[in-house]
Amino acid sequence: MNSSLRIGFAAAIVVSLVACGPAAVGPSVVTVGPSVASVGPSVASVAPSPVASPSVVQPSPAPSSGSQIAHMLVAGTDLSGPALRLTVQIPADWQSSQFVAERGTSSPPAGMAFVVSIVDNTFADPCSHRQRSPKVGPTIGDLASALGKVPNTTATAPVQTTIAGYATTYIELAIPASLPCDLDEFYLWQDSPGGYWWVQGLNETARVWILEVRGQRVTFLGHSYPGSGPDARAVFEKILNTAVFEGAS
């Protein structure tokens, strides 16, 4: 998909998945609104951890009871070289599209959704869409540090963990009850020029897992809210741990 179409695609996801749902996640993410100026603490650069080595071109496992296989594409890789694809097991009550999977909706008060993309750059001003200059560096630690400085959000310190057998850096961004601009104007990052991901709701917790797959820095972004339940992170991680990247070695 041409990067210039990603924003329109994002807005159309909910329409295609849930006819009456609110704006969905797309190759630009999220919904957030008016103003608050608390800037998240700086995050120290985290050295990329060694990557575990799943089997090459593993067949997708049969879905467990109550789940289904979703076929997804890492947004941005379709524009920068060989597309990186994956399968993941999602619960039976979730839906998926090319880059996105969600539980009914990505919006508050109780929606849950995640997207998968690479990150080309973040924004020094998410509302005016002024990009970070110089661009965010190429490492996992560079991205974790940049996300920790997104204006109008509060970030946790990065934590080392694993997802689907890959060494992973995890960070959370707390989106406040108001923002200086509309949700779909508050950009978190771009996967490619013109391919933007934004906030999905006020009082959102944006959960970010960063890993390296086949030499590419891959990022999962999960959206949840106080009404999504106390175990949102565990729900996301159970799903993401089933991810199998095609051709990964």
Sketch the domain layout of the chain as residue ranges. 29-51+80-96+111-245
pLDDT tens digits for range 77-111: 988 778 999 999 999 999 999 999 999 999 999 99
**Residue 70 pairs with which residues in a beta bridge?**
88
- Two tokens at 16? 């295609």
- State yes or no: pLDDT of 201 exceeds 80: yes
**How many angstroms separate the first and last alpha carbons of the chain?**
26
- State yes or no: pLDDT of 139 exceeds 90: yes
The full DSSP string for 182-233 is -GGG-EEEEEETTEEEE--STT-EEEEEEEEETTEEEEEEEEE-GGG-TTHH
More confident residue, 32 or 245: 245
Q: Measuring CA to CA, which residue among 133, 106, 124 is closest to residue 199?
A: 106
- Is CATH 2.40.50 correct for 29-51+80-96+111-245? no
Cα–Cα distance measured from residue 121 to residue 228, given in angstroms and rounded to the nearest whole number:
29
pTM listed for this prediction = 0.78
